[in-house]
Amino acid sequence: MSKQGRVGSGICYGKRETKKESSDFGVKRLRQKVMTKPEKYMFPLAALALVVAVCVVPLTAEISNVTSTRHIALRMDEAILTVNNELDTELVVSWMSERCYQCLYQQLGVVPAGPSPGQPSSVDFVVGTQHGITLQLNSTTVNLELCTVPFHFGEHGNYSLWVKNLNDSSVVNCSVVTGADPVNSYIPILVAFLIFAGLALASAIGTTILGLDVVRGFFFRISGSMETERLINSELGSPDRTVSLIADNILPPPSSPSKRLRSLDTFRGISLVIMVFVNYGGGRYWFFRHESWNGLTVADLVFPWFVFIMGTSIALSTHSMLRAGSTRCSLLRKVVWRSMQLFIIGVFIINPNYCHGPLSWDNLRIPGVLQRLAFSYLVVACLDLLVARGRLDILTTDAWWSPGLDILLYWPAWLCVLILEIIWLCLTFLLPVPDCPTGYLGPGGIGDMGLYANCTGGAASLIDRWLLGESHIYQTPSSRVIYATHMPYDPEGVLGSINSILMAFLGLQAGKIILHYRDLHTSIISRFLIWGLLLGAISAALTKCSTDHGFIPVNKNLWSLSYVTTLACFANVLLVLVYFTVDVKKWWSGAPFYYPGMNSILVYVGHEVFEEYFPFRWHMSNSQSHTEHLTQNLVATSCWVFIAYVLHRKKIFWKI
């Protein structure tokens, strides 16, 4: 059990799963003493947002009472706890995070007995503030639990825990007193939200005003006679245009290319922008970091959504190319080549050694985000090539089974996915793991009362170590943050890839719905909602509507079955909202998310490669400020959105 560092401050300050996360879980005893009681127009505004974000005055606060004389330098998400012991026996103070399921208490420190009645012995500790914790106080003489105190400390607050006897000497009273109020670390998020919401509102109002006939007429009148003549010709037609109009009435209309759905690129862009933001740090807020084990945070949503919309795009692109006359063999070659490219690029960007000398093959990490995308794309695209049809307009819609046409026509692919899922279930719950319970899904470490400390991930971890080798998988997983694990574990490992295939295939099913019911908006929306309801019901059954007590908990590290069904449920609902507002009602153009969605590979690879370069990162005057981190991460993310917009205007797209 580590005793170095500060309690509860082990939250990962690394960049992402490919960066090192903190595993520091102990506590530093600071001082011991005897004391007495004391859209078009969107992006000019977006550029303005960058300037405003940089110039926002940091929202910091100082502790301005007597405790400031202690000269204890607090970092982010930390507070001071002074334990005052009036008992005539030593106290052992231990702690446990409320997010740690069935965990062992970790020792915080020892507080000596008071030197005399009415004169307590005091010890200062630094405690974490990201999650609530439970303090346990034991007597060292008989190892007897005296009391437990659940409490959620606030950032940079100053607290005192008083331990004393009441009138009855056998009754111990433990109470927490706030000496200095904590700062509100969430104010920067509110300010950032108001800034961007204001910019979006200003853009919407400006676009509406500029679209009014009166305003357009005003600009027409002041633009000059030549411009007016040009506009008139463009509206009414020049003599040459009149000839072409006559020809248009005689000749048959040319076939129009298939209409690209803006909602799909917008959905992809939403996932990508959030992914970039959380990868850059998310302001160092815990809910913008990956969950330590079971459960969900904002950071856990975006990768499955990206996989989902990739599956949707596979269905549409395969259908389009088959309809254009491409052969299945030629498409298969393109799929294999693209998968290889994605995998190789992924290996390069998760093993950066630009400033650390040559990369060693001994510790090269093999799994990663793009590698997982490559594998999922390869399998799902091959399944689609197996069953896809070039023409759907010749299919009957009169049969009793026609409402399920978008599923029944592709039953071989569904059968393959079902077999893969059975393989995942068998390996996960039946594969023997040495020194671990069969079917173990826990984090190991101090979880499960420390009984299975080396069993992190169960069968998934065993398969990765067997196939890839322990030195070629992720060495510092997020389970270290709360569960103090020390085993390597890769959240993009081999076994979880089976469920990422399922996620992409559910996205493929969404694409089939769009193809079969094109322009029938009610049918498309109703089917998306039905799928969302069905997947949500499956998730509720698997998890028993709880974080830790279900048959298969929601777990991003494992890419558990319930994780996939839950995120696919959310994806269908989000896709309904985006599809309805962007493509059906056209209330929203999809900006600014539409632009990075059109150039997703370039933005993802670029944000990884240039992360350490200005303007995506700079030296901060106070690296322990949520405000400065949030400002930096929002500016960096906004820069990539702006870059995607400029590339879109110049029609530059990186396709693999």
Residue 408 has pLDDT above 90, yes or no: no
Q: What are phi and psi of 653, to 5 degrees?
A: -135, 135
- Is 415 buried (19+), middle (13-18) or exposed (0-12) by CB count in 10 A? exposed
Joined tokens for residue 371: 């590698």
The pLDDT value recorded for residue 32 is 38
**Banded model confidence at residue 115, pLDDT cuts 50, 70, 90:** confident
Residue 48 has pLDDT above 60, yes or no: no
The pLDDT value recorded for residue 58 is 38
Element (H, E) at 345: helix 328-349
- Residue 224's alpha-carbon distances to 214, 219, 220, 230, 239, in angstroms, are 17, 9, 8, 10, 22
pLDDT (mean) for 36-57: 43
The pLDDT value recorded for residue 398 is 62
Q: Which of 156, 290, 626, 629 is catalytic?
A: 290
Q: What contacts 29, CB < 8 A, 6 or more positions away?
A: 109, 123, 124, 125
Digit-coded pLDDT (tens) for 72-113: 788 999 999 999 998 888 899 999 999 999 999 999 999 998
CB atoms within 10 A of CB 119: 13
Residue 396 has pLDDT above 60, yes or no: no
Name the DSSP class of 100.
S
For the chain, state the CA radius of gyration: 29
Residue position matching structure tokens 């079971």: 294
**Banded model confidence at residue 169, pLDDT cuts 50, 70, 90:** low
pLDDT (mean) for 125-136: 94
Q: Does a cis peptide bond (omega within 30 degrees of 0) precede residue 434? A: no
CA distance 570 to 583: 19
Residue 45 has pLDDT above 90, yes or no: no
Please name which of 386, 367, 377 lies closest in space to residue 309, comparing C-alpha atoms. Answer: 377
Question: Do the Cβ atoms of 121 and 113 come closer than 8 Å?
Answer: yes
CA distance 421 to 529: 23
Cα torsion at 418, 402, 258, 385 (round to 10°)?
A: 30
Digit-coded pLDDT (tens) for 560-578: 999 999 999 999 999 999 9
Question: Do the Cβ atoms of 34 and 198 come closer than 8 Å?
Answer: no
Residue 248 has pLDDT above 60, yes or no: no
Digit-coded pLDDT (tens) for 10-28: 333 333 333 333 333 333 3
CB atoms within 10 A of CB 403: 12
Report the residue count for the chain.
656
The pLDDT value recorded for residue 168 is 65
Per the prediction, the chain carries an average pLDDT of: 83
Digit-coded pLDDT (tens) for 215-239: 777 777 776 554 545 544 554 444 4
**Banded model confidence at residue 418, pLDDT cuts 50, 70, 90:** very high
Give residue 428's region: left, alpha or beta (phi > 0; psi -120 to 50): alpha
Can you give the pTM of this predicted structure?
0.84
pLDDT (mean) for 335-347: 95
Q: Is 290 among the residues known to form the active site? A: yes
What is the amino acid identity at position 259? Answer: K
Please name which of 493, 492, 449 lies closest in space to residue 467, comparing C-alpha atoms. Answer: 493
Digit-coded pLDDT (tens) for 171-181: 888 999 999 99
Residue 35 has pLDDT above 60, yes or no: no
Q: How far apart are the first and last CA of the chain?
A: 48
Joined tokens for residue 170: 């056998």
Least confident of 347-361, 427-441, 468-482, 498-512: 347-361
The pLDDT value recorded for residue 365 is 92
Residue position matching structure tokens 């975006």: 302
- Is 614 buried (19+), middle (13-18) or exposed (0-12) by CB count in 10 A? exposed
- Residue 366's alpha-carbon distances to 394, 493, 633, in angstroms, are 46, 9, 28
Using the Cα atoms of residue 487, residue 492, residue 498 and residue 500 in order, give the sign of their dihedral.
Answer: positive
